[in-house]
Amino acid sequence: MKKGLLFIGLLCFQFYVFAQQDAWVYLVDKENVTTSIANPTTILTQKAIDRKIAHNVTIDERDVPVNENYIAQLKNSPGITVMAKSKWFNAVHIRGSQTDIQDLENLEFVSHVDFANKSLNTSKTVKKAKVLKFKETYNMFNYGNASNQIEMFNGDKLHEAGYTGTGMTVAVLDAGFPNANTLVAFKRLRDAGNLMGGYDFVNREANVYANTASNHGTLVLSDMAGYIENQFVGTAPDASYYLFITEDALSENPVEESYWVEAAERADSLGVDVINTSLGYATFDNPNYNYTTSNMDGNTAFITKGANIAFEKGMLLVNSAGNSGNDSWGIVGAPADAAGVFTIGAVDANGNYAAFSSRGSAIQPTRKPDVVAQGQASYVIFQNGAIGTANGTSFSSPIMAGGMVCLWQALPDKTNAELMQIVRMSASQYDVPDYNLGFGIPNLELALNTALGEIQNNDGLENLFIYPNPVEAFLFVKTVEDNFPITISLFDILGKQVLQSTLSAPNDSLDVSTLANGIYIVRLHASDITKTFKLIKK
């Protein structure tokens, strides 16, 4: 089974010879770093700069491109093929014989080499030092076949309020988008000028529609952007979309991780808000490159480390959990293991766990999956224009990603981390998460109401406050009504509960002195009613 595509039913058999090796070549420095950062429009679009400013994301050396002169020298090195590059890692993915790759360590601009086959890294080279409120607008869609999959998390309520993705930009990183430029299902998207083009990183060409090795990306895109009047509506039909091919449907090789990082970097430079990835990596055609389940720790796989940087850059990354629930692997793969990735598992139309959906484990630094959406018998639009069903977390991910796009449109001042936590807290089993469903099925209407301070049915808690805020040591709860006892829970921005206590009287307090400085979410619960606050610990 093709592991990269998180879509049940894709089988591909082929024989390979493993004489060539894959490796990452890390470089010692970059050109014109200070000048580039001082003049960010030379390396980023204005939209990307505006997004970073809005979310307090620093433009740093990682935003500066890789030195093209170094890349040219690598291309001219005997036996070396350059496959991909990453400005975030200041690294180049290359392919060649073991000897030819090891010879690159003699180049003065090469910091070190990291083979995909880790057994070849036994004599690790010492790294060289660097050289120098709701709108009164209503969109009443007839969702047709797609009704259940959006209504499950109340995404339709966001549409009714006028939040359909307008002004938001999404990058879809996938395997192929045949006919997306001609299908009637995407005519609304094209007519609005919201199909922004893209790039095929596998074949190094701008035409992403010519690659017909897989139709996977077309199906994924349909769950967000598809529109056939009275028959099908995607979850973010009015967002803008870039399409990037990073998955080679004919093979499984670590270079696809590098393609993904390249695409994420380009998405960042273009000002993309949300990335959807219905891909995952664990094992490869060459077993020497395989990861182990213990490597799914949120910081080992190259693509996972890249995803964490993308999160730091302010983008929201939504990723399929994987389809290994029924096999020996079992758990989520990379990059879904990353703390900075919003990982989506799958349920059926009734909200029950889909047995194929990959599970989380204690190996991950945060609860995985984060939430779930319909991934069993999900409705999609195929490359011939027909509406049908398909199974896989490949589809629960874009279904939820579109909902997140609309929610972020409604809450533009929220950071990616805050948005993720708001959605977790709205989910069906937030108090009792597990490794099958994570925090459960979200309620995006509740998430929006909560974020806007318009909590429904909050009688008795209108005059409930926390103080002081910011806080250094002790946190108190103030209320005009006699709402005690009150359970107070603190969560970090990645959704991990860090403190919980029950306050029985007005003079009771919660000691937060041991917490690291930063932003936390405070959840107060009294008499079956909940209220949330943002807390700053200093």
Instruction: Please report the domains of the chain, with CATH numbers, ordered by start residue.
Output: 21-121 (3.30.70), 147-451 (3.40.50.200), 464-537 (2.60.40.1220)
Would the pLDDT of 479 be above 80?
Answer: no
What's the number of CA atoms in the CB half-sphere (13 Å) around residue 1?
A: 14
Which pLDDT band holds residue 481 (cuts at 50, 70, 90)? Answer: low
What lies within 8 Å, CB to CB, of 123 at 6+ separation is: none
Q: What is the pLDDT of residue 136?
A: 40
Would the pLDDT of 66 be above 90?
Answer: yes
Tell me which of 216, 278, 370, 525 is the catalytic residue. 216
Would the pLDDT of 1 be above 80?
Answer: no
Q: Cα separation of 236 and 522, whole Å?
A: 30
Q: Which of 391, 294, 296, 405 has the alpha carbon at shortest distance from 349?
A: 391
Would the pLDDT of 113 be above 60?
Answer: yes
Query: pLDDT over 90 for what percent of the chain?
Result: 74
**Cα 447 from chain centre:** 19
Q: Do β-strands 21-27 and 91-96 pair in parallel, antiparallel, or remain unpaired?
A: antiparallel
Any alpha helices (H) in 58-173, and if so which ranges?
Answer: 68-75, 98-103, 147-151, 155-160
Tell me which of 394, 396, 426, 489 is the catalytic residue. 394
Q: Which of 47-56, 368-377, 462-471 has the highest mean pLDDT?
A: 368-377
Would the pLDDT of 8 be above 70?
Answer: no
Any alpha helices (H) in 388-443, and if so which ranges?
Answer: 393-410, 416-426
What lies within 8 Å, CB to CB, of 401 at 6+ separation is: 170, 224, 235, 236, 274, 276, 318, 344
Q: Which of 3-12, 280-289, 442-451, 507-516 has the highest mean pLDDT?
A: 280-289
Q: Cα separation of 492 and 382, whole Å?
A: 40
What lies within 8 Å, CB to CB, of 514 at 6+ separation is: none
Q: Please name the residue that has the structure tokens 């808000």.
A: 273
Would the pLDDT of 400 be above 80?
Answer: yes
Q: What is the pLDDT of residue 10?
A: 41
Phi, psi angles (nearest 5°) of residue 438: 60, -130
Would the pLDDT of 432 be above 60?
Answer: yes
- Read off the pLDDT of each residue in 455-477 and give the average, rounded to a whole number: 67
Which pLDDT band holds residue 135 (cuts at 50, 70, 90)? Answer: very low
Q: Cα separation of 444 and 49, whole Å?
A: 28
Q: Report how far apart, in Å, the C-alpha atoms of 29 and of each of 25, 80, 89 are.
A: 12, 21, 11
**Cα 93 from chain centre:** 22
Q: Which of 333, 319, 414 has the alpha carbon at shortest distance from 370?
A: 319
- Read off the pLDDT of each residue in 352-366 and give the average, rounded to a whole number: 97
- Read off the pLDDT of each residue in 30-43 and give the average, rounded to a whole number: 92
Q: What is the pLDDT of residue 230?
A: 94
Which pLDDT band holds residue 486 (cuts at 50, 70, 90)? Answer: confident
- Read off the pLDDT of each residue in 38-64 and give the average, rounded to a whole number: 93
Question: Tens digits of per-residue pLDDT, 309-333?
Answer: 999 999 999 999 999 999 999 999 9
Q: Cα separation of 150 and 152, whole Å?
A: 5
Would the pLDDT of 378 be above 60?
Answer: yes
Tell me which of 174, 200, 268, 337 is the catalytic residue. 174
Position with higher pLDDT, 533 vs 196? 196
Q: Cα separation of 162 and 56, whole Å?
A: 27
| pTM, 2 dp | 0.79
Verify whether residue 93 is a known catalytic residue: no
Q: What is the pLDDT of residue 49?
A: 94
Residue 280, classed as helix, strand or coil, is coil
Which pLDDT band holds residue 122 (cuts at 50, 70, 90)? Answer: low
Would the pLDDT of 440 be above 60?
Answer: yes
Average per-residue pLDDT for the chain: 89
Largest interatomic CA distance in the chain: 78
Verify whether residue 268 is a known catalytic residue: no
Which pLDDT band holds residue 343 (cuts at 50, 70, 90)? Answer: very high
Verify whether residue 216 is a known catalytic residue: yes
Which pLDDT band holds residue 293 (cuts at 50, 70, 90)? Answer: very high
Q: Do 251 and 216 form a contact (C-beta atoms < 8 A)?
A: no
Question: Tens digits of per-residue pLDDT, 236-281?
Answer: 999 999 999 999 999 999 999 999 999 999 999 999 999 999 999 9
